[in-house]
Amino acid sequence: MAINVIIPSNEIVNSQINSAAAIERSKLAQETLKFNVPLENVRVHDAFQTALPTTAASDDLGLIIGTFGTDAVVLQTSDSKATSVTQRGRFSFRLPDNYVAGQTLSVAAWAGMKTTVSDGTATIDFEVYAKDDATGLVGSDLVTTAATSINSLTAAAKEFTITPTGLNPGDELDIRVTIAITDGATATAVIGRIMKLYMLLSVKG
């Protein structure tokens, strides 16, 4: 007769588990982890085969590489003083094998303004679509968070919730980020910047 023994939580520590133990992923603790998206992976939103320009132009964000050893790579808008700009970038993200199907999922940016804030508005927004492998099409925008202000010289994390219903490990997400700035008559440069992009996922293992 088989006997099932249920061990209370926190009764076994890591050092007591044999290195050959075949523990199923479902038995592992669920946690939220951050997955960074390299900024060089962001591409022209309406010409996805094309890398972002090194200077923002038209409706495209710029990939600003700066000087190695001095500057960090950032995404940046053009100067929007006394005008309005809406500039974008696009990237893909594959949900990893340890993502817990249908659980917490969001996309985030560490963003703010360079040099001067706008005398009007400056916002960041995300759109996220899941690819249907059977048809090659996508459904509706999965982001539920509204465009959020980045009109501050102090950069901060801006997180956007993604509806996770029906999403599974291996699913591919098509993601577009937009910075929109409207400025009246500021004399100095008004530039929006993204210092980091990342995904927050519920995972096991």
pTM for the full predicted model? 0.86
Q: Based on the number of CB atoms within 10 Å of its own CB, is 60 exposed (0-12), middle (13-18) or buried (19 or more)?
A: buried
Looking at the domain assignment, is residue 10 inside a domain?
Answer: no
Looking at the domain assignment, is residue 164 inside a domain?
Answer: yes
SS3 content of the chain, % helix, strand, coil (to 5): 5, 40, 55
* Distance, CA of 78 to CA of 193 (rounded, Å): 10
Looking at the domain assignment, is residue 102 inside a domain?
Answer: yes
Q: Based on the number of CB atoms within 10 Å of its own CB, is 137 exposed (0-12), middle (13-18) or buried (19 or more)?
A: exposed
Residue 101, token pair as written in the block? 């199907």
Residue-wise pLDDT for 47-103, tens only, equals 999 999 999 999 999 999 989 999 999 999 999 999 999 999 999 999 999 999 999
Looking at the domain assignment, is residue 3 inside a domain?
Answer: no
The count of domains in the chain is 1
CATH of the domain at 59: 2.60.120.260
